[in-house]
Structure 1
Amino acid sequence: MTQSVPPQPQQPADGNPFAQQQGGDGNPFAQQQGGGGSPFAQQPGAVPPAPVGAGRGGNVVLGVVTAVLVALVTAGIYGAIVGATEYEIGYAAIGVGFLVGFAAGKVGGGNPALPVVSALLSLGAVYVGQLIGFGVIAADIAGISATEMFTEHFAVITEAWKESADAMTFLFFAIGAFAAFSGAKKAAL
């Protein structure tokens, strides 16, 4: 009785078990893929990826809707900050503008109208935020709720805002609009 030994694959002299599978250039992927043996080579029929930022149209309507929502939320946050501190804070206006613009650019893409729309929306958001802040302050002084102040005494809030508006107030508007414009441009890249 003889015992049979299973056939062993022959290894080349250098001890590399994959040497038999390699192509002529020594690359184990050369026989399996095209492109000179590169595992990252373009496959036949594949669509090449677009360069970053090229042709990024996005959805302009969705970008505007997102910017409106972000403007409303940031206006509320800015108003709460103004109401709590009783000061208009420039960095908060920058944050409002940048967040509105960045959200619009990220969702809406590189449409050239989005930075302009974002700047306009940030102007509104900073204004509404300041009105909310004045309303919170006036409600505390009057001893009523902020909701009651806004629903029954809104004219008092707007009058107080007009009387206190100065050059810094309008500078915050400009800073917020600029931050929104640049934020939309940067997000669309």
Structure 2
Amino acid sequence: MATPKTPDSTRRSERSRRAIFDASLELIGEVGYDKLTIEGIAARAGVGKQTIYRWWPSKAAVLLDAFLADAGDEEIELPDTGDLAADLKAVLRASVDEFNNPAFEAPYRALAVAGANDPELSEQFVTRLQETGYQAYVNRLRHAQEAGAIAADADPRIATEMLLGPFFQRWLMRSLPLTHDFTDTLVDMLMRALAPR
């Protein structure tokens, strides 16, 4: 007589976690952050809401983990072809396409807006999501500086903020379209500001 198999709780937990992530990302696109609820996520994922509260303190925490689940822990590196302007333009054009994609835009915007009213979420958003991307730009600019492509006294962190600040402002406020032409212009202006003297 065969011995019944003991259910693998690890596998079940991972299935539930994945279902919760998928549900939260689907719902944020369908109903928006204000109408997103733990109850709604639980119902869509087919789990009890107590399961979600056991792992996360809020819907924002669920959404942040869901958004980061597929990102991995690899360090981000910008391309380095030897042409800083071309590399920055290529990366920012890809970023425009990504930020204009509703599947990316809805959760990212929700997290950015929620973080404005939640200092703890804001800190998590910056350290776990935004800072990784910023550091990739800082590293690329520092390498260009070492190669003599930008001024030796330029601050790579400030230069990164000069480049990405207007990008995020335009995207977040929806004041004007976020386009390839816009980001190309940002790069051209940054390159003039950072030109070796």
Instruction: Give the TM-score of the pair, scaled to structure 1.
Output: 0.33
Which one has a bigger Cα radius of gyration?
Answer: 1
Instruction: Give the TM-score of the pair, scaled to structure 2.
Output: 0.32
Relative to its length, the structure with more helix (as a share) is 2
* Higher RCO (CA-CA < 8 Å; seq separation 6+): 1
